[in-house]
Amino acid sequence: MWHMSVEILDAKTKDKLCFLDKVRTYFFSSYPQWYPARQSIRLDPKGKSLKDEDVLQHLPVGTTATFYFRDLGAQISWVTVFLTEYTGPLVIYLMFYFRVPFIYAPKYDFTTSKHWVVHLACMCHSFHYVKRLLETLFVHRFSHGTMPLRNIFKNCTYYWGFAAWMAYYINHPLYTPPIYGEQQIRLALIVFLFCQIGNFSIHVALRNLRPPGSKTRKIPYPTKNPFTWIFLLVSCPNYTYELGSWLGFTLMTQCLPVAFFTLVGFIQMTVWAKGKHRSYLKEFRDYPPLRSPILPFVL
């Protein structure tokens, strides 16, 4: 923990005028090993990090602004993390689908499944991660540019590991199709595609709330797109649709590892949704009271 005191005055008015990003730059010039992205600047040693857009005269400081610094560790961009963690499952799943050598018995190398649901599952899985990659590049606007470097190892272990586990069983030569056959598969495909479109619609709606280069936060409301009308009841419908997609994929494949991945994902997304919901309630006094974090009227 490091301690520093800074007072910056306007040369004409003598008013304190200092954006936190300027403090970060000043600190970086003195300590080059701590670039701005890995700096946590706070007013209290155990308090929350201040935002770049915070202005000193709006903070509870006296004549001298005293900051406390904490090193957040090596950082990596969100875009890099997302591209890495999403490319892995795409490639890994296809390796199992094409049955490359050393996965199954040698006699099955580069053979294809006789069950059409296996091919459909591969298309759906690939579509999901290609969609995620494209959204990362062209849709998402991140409020924070970086995250700790260690997160990429944790995230990749999660996504890549589950992709391999699911793909192994779905593409296994002894895999058996769902018990209710084509009806179950078709219903699952409808659920999957519906939720994929819904998830994309929510991501676009959230993007449109934030102008390029801005960190402005607004209450998301339904748009003319019917898939966004769920905002009337849920704070984080992107997670609701994500859950629906994986429930559809579980129904389609009737595979236990997929069901477990869906359950684990649901638990994690619920944690994120509850945190986002609390943040909305705290920040906006007029936040719609009927909304639940992730499941309407339930959770």
Give the per-residue pLDDT at 217.
82
Q: Which of 192, 198, 180 is nearest to 122 (CA)?
A: 192
Enter the pTM of the model.
0.82
Give the per-residue pLDDT at 28.
59
Sequential DSSP letters for 65-117? EEEEEEE--SEEEHHHHHHHHHHHHHHHHHHHHTT-TTSS-GGGTT---S-HH
d(CA 130, CA 137): 11
On the question of pLDDT at 57 being above 60, the answer is: no
- Per-residue pLDDT, averaged over 19-41, amounts to 62
First to last CA, the chain: 39
Between 16 and 173, where is the model more confident?
Answer: 173
On the question of pLDDT at 36 being above 70, the answer is: no
Give the per-residue pLDDT at 7.
45
On the question of pLDDT at 22 being above 70, the answer is: no
Give the per-residue pLDDT at 204.
96
The secondary structure element, H or E, covering residue 3 is strand 2-6
The CA–CA distances, whole Å, from 39 to 3, 70, 80, 150 equal 13, 6, 20, 16
Between 143 and 269, where is the model more confident?
Answer: 269
Sequential DSSP letters for 239-296? HHHHHHHHHHHHHHH--HHHHHHHHHHHHHHHHHHHHHHHHHHHH-TT--TT-BSSST
The 10s digit of each residue's pLDDT in 62-105 is 556 666 767 777 788 889 999 999 999 999 999 999 999 999 99
On the question of pLDDT at 245 being above 90, the answer is: yes
The secondary structure element, H or E, covering residue 134 is helix 116-138
Give the per-residue pLDDT at 211.
77
d(CA 165, CA 136): 25
